[in-house]
Amino acid sequence: MHTVYAIASNARNYIYVGMTSNLSNRLERHNQGYERTTKPYAPFTLIYSEEVGSRPEARVREKYWKSGVGKEKLRLIRNELDIAGLSADR
């Protein structure tokens, strides 16, 4: 089982999309600054996740969420969470 996820920086206007087989460990690595790509943007809040059955399926979904349409939907999700007060202050 693989998870496709999106995290939003609590400090900056940045959304990262990735995939993993261990979501809790991966989020911890992002927030502790172990991932070079996201280190400057930590800390993060999980704004979206979906489980898929295989790595190839996860890759397809990840590519969608990284596309222009997918990123726009993630921005809307992040903004809704901000309005609802569920996300950390930016």
- Model confidence over 38-71: pLDDT tens digits? 999 999 999 999 999 999 999 999 999 999 999 9
To the question of domain 2-84 being in CATH 3.40.1440, the answer is yes
Chain-wide mean pLDDT for the chain? 93
Q: pTM of this prediction?
A: 0.89
Position 87 scores a pLDDT of: 57
Q: Do 11 and 43 meet the contact criterion of CB atoms below 8 Å apart?
A: yes
Burial pattern 1-27, b for ≥16 Cβ within 10 A else e, equals ebbbbbbbbbeeeebbbbbbeebeebb
Answer left, alpha or beta for residue 65, where phi above 0 means left and psi between -120 and 50 means alpha.
alpha
State pLDDT tens for residues 40-49: 999 999 999 9
The more confident residue out of 90 and 72 is 72
